[in-house]
Chains A and B, each alone.
Chain A
Amino acid sequence: NAGVTQTPKFQVLKTGQSMTLQCAQDMNHEYMSWYRQDPGMGLRLIHYSVGAGITDQGEVPNGYNVSRSTTEDFPLRLLSAAPSQTSVYFCATKPRWEGVTEAFFGQGTRLTVV
């Protein structure tokens, strides 16, 4: 099993461009989420999903869209990239949304917006 796979690993965008960060999991986990990691800020939740067809906003959702059409995939879309979105993005999953299980993280996507 691959676990949580994020693509791409690195990306450079110009201001105003759009792109999609991919997250795929093969563990049949119900819960998926996106975090951004910035120096001195820790991890901040962008969006999350408790199952296919259900998404909700986290702490810092502005500028990002998500959808969850399948259990396996949870793409994060940047509609019009801004330098403030330069960050490392992590996808994380859990078996069930209400359980007290640990989260499984992908290896991250390092995004630079110039």
Chain B
Amino acid sequence: AQSVAQPEDQVNVAEGNPLTVKCTYSVSGNPYLFWYVQYPNRGLQFLLKYITGDNLVKGSYGFEAEFNKSQTSFHLKKPSALVSDSALYFCAVRDRYSGAGSYQLTFGKGTKLSVIP
């Protein structure tokens, strides 16, 4: 079964500093990987995805993520954090070679990012 781990419940970073939100995954084949963001009292919004190709994926709002197959990781990064980036971030995975029962995404537990002014 596929799984996603977000090892940090909360990440605090000062405004203007680089941020990293960690994600590791476990799947039986090659994965499709996603990051979503959830602002308070809102649904999840898509940030970026990895399908194949370049290991560095660029997404919305200046975020990027680095796919590392050997470490089974897909960490979310941003060079300079903004206070408005404060939100809950979810990593998700979909197994590439799975059968009819795996259309769905498996989500991590989420990491709360707080950017301190």
- Complex contacts, B108 vs chain A, CB 8 Å: 42
Q: Which of B9, B49, B51, B107 contacts A43 (CB 8 A)?
A: B107
Cβ contacts B2-30/A at 8 Å (1 or 0 each): 00001001000000000000000000000
A43 touches B90 (CB 8 A): yes
Known: A41-B109, A42-B108, A43-B90. A98 touches B42 (CB 8 A): no
Interface size of B by Cβ–Cβ distance < 8 Å? 24
Nearest CB of chain B from residue A88's CB, rounded to whole Å: 9
Known: A42-B110, A43-B90. A90 touches B43 (CB 8 A): yes
Number of A-B contacts (CB under 8 A): 52
B103 touches A48 (CB 8 A): yes
Cβ contacts B85-117/A at 8 Å (1 or 0 each): 000001000100000010111111110000000
Q: How far is the CA of A42 from the CA of B104 in the complex (A)?
A: 14
Interface size of A by Cβ–Cβ distance < 8 Å? 26
Closest to A107 in B: B43
- Interface, chain B (partner A; CB < 8 A): 6, 9, 32, 34, 36, 41-46, 49, 51, 90, 94, 101, 103-110
Contacts A43-B107, A48-B104, A108-B43 given; 17 further ones with Cβ under 8 A?
A: A4-B43, A31-B103, A33-B104, A40-B9, A41-B109, A42-B90, A42-B108, A43-B44, A44-B107, A50-B103, A90-B44, A100-B32, A100-B49, A102-B34, A102-B46, A105-B43, A107-B41
